[in-house]
Amino acid sequence: MYNNDIIPGFDEKTNEHLRIKLEKIGDSQDCIVIHLRGFASRQNAGFFNRIITETSEFGFRWIILECAEFITQSSSVAGALTAILKAFRKSKGGLVITEAKPILRYFIAANSLDIFFKQKNTLQETIEFLKSKAWRLPQFPVAINCLNCGLNLTAPSFGFLSCNACKTAFRLIFGAI
């Protein structure tokens, strides 16, 4: 199956440094794999952002970015991922990155983006994760107990939370501490 079969006119947009192949997962209408080949830099981060945004506009709620042959040379990709995440939060979908190289994982963690989407080691693991429905986001606010002093806390959203009593800091990632 060609990219144009999945999204009409997709192959008309090209970049000499970044090649993209689309793949639908079985008969799922809301999940797509984007195989990234090449490198992203400050110069083509806009192209990368437009391609991902266009994919989300075609009704795909879950995008899997397969990054086995993808290299990034700057944190511009982290900025592009931030814009993408805003679009997906509205559709109750998300982004899963699989087979990311250590430098990409570093950029993601350094920009605290890893609290907003999942990272998996293999494409098969990612597909099983999405089929299991384990990705469902909790309804906020969420009540949790401080792991240090036991005080009842209310987490308004994902991200960082600190206990008022003992000042222990927590990081909520997809509803887990």
Query: Domain extents for the chain?
Result: 3-131, 142-172
How far is 88 from 105, CA to CA, in rounded Å? 20
pTM (2 d.p.): 0.72
CATH 3.90.110.10 fits 3-131, yes or no: no
Instruction: Note the pLDDT of residue 75.
Output: 66
User: Which pLDDT score, from 0 to 100, does residue 88 have?
Assistant: 67
Residues sharing a CB contact under 8 Å with residue 38, sequence separation 6 or more, in sequence order: 15, 17, 18, 19, 69, 70, 71
Determine phi and psi for 105, rounding to 5 degrees: -60, -40
What are the pLDDT tens digits along the chain (177 aa)? 688 888 888 888 778 888 889 988 876 677 889 898 988 777 787 787 777 777 777 878 788 889 888 887 666 666 677 767 766 666 667 788 899 888 788 777 777 777 677 788 898 888 888 777 655 555 677 788 888 898 998 888 777 888 989 998 887 765 433
Per DSSP, helices labelled H in 11-101 are: 45-57, 76-90
Nearest to 35 by CA among 106, 129, 98: 98
